[in-house]
Chains A and B, each alone.
Chain A
């Protein structure tokens, strides 16, 4: 009999199916974005100017680099170098925290300027700009939650690696967590141009 949890390929198939659901979850928001972009494209261009391309670009580089570390940590474990794997995972988590800090600074600056959902300042703007910001908060917010979850998952996997539950011969948990983390990166790859670069 085959132990179900030893089914390496099955575990990965399951993970990919889960990633599909994440793609479609964000897909609903992308649908709204595209419909509203179609309706309010001028307002969107105006509003996007107020977003800091530097901060957004920096966050893009941070996430790409963290994805790179994540992929390397899997390679390290596959080669049996556990210490290196742990180090790379720690770097990945650190990058994720950096992303969140950066995001927090960005949001905070917006709040300072009176830009938050339902604020008077937003209500005074053209409707398309308000919609743009609503989408901005919804999409980067949901993405931020995913980053936060990623931090939790990757920290947990670090514990598993340290305890030897995840090891050279049985690393599908690490790989699946990696898949999740790359997905978070993927979504940001689309969010970045849609919010920061359509000026």
Chain B
């Protein structure tokens, strides 16, 4: 009754695909550095984090084979990320709304 097949034939990624992913990651790194030099205020952080997330997804889906894994594993990864987001998000109910004395 194993959810994940025990003798599942693993998917082999071609060097060409991996090289494409690598090139994209390098480009995104260049872009994020370039974007950081333009002053967008708060949006700088937003841009940096969205680019970082895109890079992370590329690494997860291709380098880490997640694209070819069972849906269960994808859901579990999603769950872990949601949990972390909740930990940080709920903390902001305190952090963002606290009356504090600034030095």
A residues apposed to B, CB below 8 Å: 2, 6-10, 12-13, 16-17, 20, 23-24, 27, 30-31, 34-35, 37-39, 53, 57, 60-61, 64-65, 67-68, 70-72, 74-75, 78-79, 127, 175, 178-179, 182, 185-186, 189-190, 192-194, 197-199
Contact = CB atoms under 8 A, between A and B. Distances in A.
A39 to B, nearest CB: 7
B6 A13 contact: no
B2 A16 contact: no
B59 A182 contact: yes
A65 B8 contact: no
A10 B59 contact: no
B88 A20 contact: no
A30 B45 CA distance: 14
B80 A20 contact: yes
Contacts of B7: 8
Contact of B32 (A20, A38, A64, A193): A193
B88 A27 contact: yes
Contacts, number: 134
Given A60-B29, A64-B25, A7 B18 contact: no
Interface of B: 2, 4-8, 10, 12-15, 18-19, 21-22, 25-26, 29, 32-33, 36, 44-45, 48-49, 51-52, 55-56, 59-60, 62-65, 69-70, 73, 76-77, 80-81, 83-84, 87-88, 91-92, 95-96, 100, 103
A38 B95 contact: yes
A182 B55 CA distance: 12
A194 to B, nearest CB: 7
B49 to A, nearest CB: 7
A9 B1 CA distance: 13
B56 A193 contact: no
Contacts of A39: 95, 100
30 contacts: A7-B6, A9-B6, A12-B4, A13-B4, A13-B73, A20-B76, A20-B80, A23-B80, A27-B88, A35-B95, A38-B95, A57-B33, A60-B29, A64-B25, A64-B26, A67-B22, A68-B19, A68-B25, A71-B63, A74-B13, A75-B12, A78-B12, A175-B65, A182-B59, A185-B59, A189-B56, A190-B49, A192-B29, A194-B48, A197-B48
